[in-house]
Structure 1
Amino acid sequence: PHEVESKMGHSDLKKLSDEKNKVAKLSQIREIVFGAEDGLLVPLGVVSGVAGATTNNFYVLIAGLAEAFAGSISMGAGAYLSSKAEREVQEWAITKEMNEVETVPDEEKKEIAVLFESEGLSPADSSKVADLITTSKKSWIRTMVEKELGLSNEPIHSGRRDALVMAFSYLGGSLFPVVPYLLLPLHTALLYSVGLTLAALFGLGVYKSRLAHGRMLRGGLEVMVIGAFSGGAGYVLGTLMPILLRMIGIRIN
């Protein structure tokens, strides 16, 4: 019986570990989707705006490529700094809770009872749960970090990896609105740029909704409409801007 119990325990732990790994992978996929989505939307607005303001493919291409590379670097740097800050906060919080468990154990034990009581357990049951949890320092600290501070105890993965994923996702997404200007005449390129980007946004929206077990058609259309608005607004602004500048006496060659 003891062996069966031990095997069942190992199986349960493996199942929990698999679930954690699955969630971690989904989180990484969400970062890819987020980077690609921005990489599609922002350059589309830029190249559409410049295409509305000029008749020269070269200017549109330079603006699009500059935005794509600058945007990917910016997104990568933001992801790195965000992960680094999150990891530092997590480490500080865990260290703080470890010190408090050592220096004021009675107060920390009372806090656990109060936390469970606030979740609906009776005072007596909350006290029993606190007694059980505080028999293991690891469980004690994990409970305080998660329930009191609202932080995860799981180690935060490398900020460098987050930065690379975000940067390359953004750069990959930016190819759809920018590349047509490298291959086609301006007005044809504009149509292909918008069409390819909207198709990619629709696919991305469908995939994102699938991950969240949402309505895929609605998710795809929602993201695509936002992309259409971004490109349309950029084109209108690019068309109107030279007119407005000429009205105030500024001329663009």
Structure 2
Amino acid sequence: MKIDLHEDYFRSIMFGLQDGLVSTTGVVVGISAGVPDKAIIILASFVAVSVEASSMAAGQYSSEKAVHQMDKSGKHNDSLMMGAILMFFSYLGAGLIPIAPFLIFPPDTARVTSIVVALTGLFVIGYFKGKIVEHRALRSAVEMLIIGGLATAIGLVVGNFLKV
């Protein structure tokens, strides 16, 4: 499966999707483990994903600009703004996935659903990444699943430890 996409744009999309799912799932699961109030969980989650998506886009722009400034060969000819936009929407879109169950279910059910949906999403994203870059798709999927699982576990442990 070959896609004609600038490598810097592909990196922005993959980074945004992975980090949006991983970070937001860790935050949402941690908050829901530590706070029983559904409204607080939803508010904190939406604030977190909005700020994180904006921060990631700004970081993408700044870091790519530095790379462009260092590059004397002209290899990096991608649009800084396009990379930032792709990062923002990839992160935001993926970050909304683990929040969605909290809009539908009670916190305990939503927490489990959020974890399952996010980890499944990471597996699927990892699989397609492997296909696109023509590398072992299953290995890529499992790798992304493990990374996401570890981050989610950290959020769950911290949330349970710091219950309010």
**TM-score normalised to structure 1 length:** 0.60
* Mapped partners of 2:119, 2:77: distance in 1: 34
Three-state SS of the structure 2 residue aligned to 1:213 is coil
Structure with the higher helix share, 1 or 2 = 1
Which residue of the partner structure matches residue 86 of structure 1? 67
Which residue of the partner structure matches residue 70 of structure 1? 51
- Alignment match of 2:129 (pick from 208, 220, 239): 208
- Alignment match of 1:48 (pick from 29, 45, 48): 29
Which residue of the partner structure matches residue 120 of structure 1? none
* Mapped partners of 2:76, 2:60: distance in 1: 16
- Alignment match of 1:161 (pick from 82, 85, 90): 82
* Mapped partners of 2:42, 2:111: distance in 1: 11
Return the offset for 1:29: 2.2
Return the offset for 1:27: 3.6
Which residue of the partner structure matches residue 143 of structure 1? none
Three-state SS of the structure 1 residue aligned to 2:162 is helix
Three-state SS of the structure 2 residue aligned to 1:177 is coil
Q: 1:188 to 1:182 in 2, by over 3 A?
A: same
- Alignment match of 1:185 (pick from 106, 111, 114): 106
Return the offset for 1:26: 4.1
Question: Could you list the per-position Cα deviations for residues 59-109 of structure 1 after superposition, in whole angstroms to 9, with x for gaps in the alignment?
Answer: 11112111100011101001111222222223xx4xxxxxxxxxxxxxxxx
Question: Would you say 1:59 and 2:47 are equivalent positions?
Answer: no
Three-state SS of the structure 2 residue aligned to 1:30 is helix
Question: Could you list the per-position Cα deviations for residues 147-181 of structure 1 after superposition, in whole angstroms to 9, with x for gaps in the alignment?
Answer: xxxxx433522211111110111001101111111
Percent identical pairs in the alignment equals 31
- Alignment match of 1:174 (pick from 95, 98, 119): 95
User: Are the aligned partners of 2:65 and 2:80 in contact in 1 as well (CA < 8 Å)?
Assistant: yes
Question: Could you list the per-position Cα deviations for residues 31-54 of structure 1 after superposition, in whole angstroms to 9, with x for gaps in the alignment?
Answer: 211111000000111111111111
User: Are the aligned partners of 1:83 and 1:158 in contact in 2 as well (CA < 8 Å)?
Assistant: no
Question: Would you say 1:35 and 2:16 are equivalent positions?
Answer: yes
Return the offset for 1:221: 1.3
User: Are the aligned partners of 1:202 and 1:220 in contact in 2 as well (CA < 8 Å)?
Assistant: yes
User: Are the aligned partners of 1:64 and 1:178 in contact in 2 as well (CA < 8 Å)?
Assistant: yes
* Mapped partners of 1:154, 1:236: distance in 2: 44
* Mapped partners of 1:47, 1:219: distance in 2: 25
* Mapped partners of 1:230, 1:81: distance in 2: 26
User: Are the aligned partners of 2:98 and 2:115 in contact in 1 as well (CA < 8 Å)?
Assistant: yes
Gaps of 5+ in 2: none
Which residue of the partner structure matches residue 106 of structure 1? none
* Mapped partners of 1:235, 1:226: distance in 2: 14
Gaps of 5+ in 1: 1-20, 94-151, 243-251
Q: Which structure carries more relative contact order (alpha carbon 8 Å, separation 6+)?
A: 2
Superposition RMSD in Å: 1.7
User: Are the aligned partners of 1:83 and 1:156 in contact in 2 as well (CA < 8 Å)?
Assistant: no
Which residue of the partner structure matches residue 235 of structure 1? 156
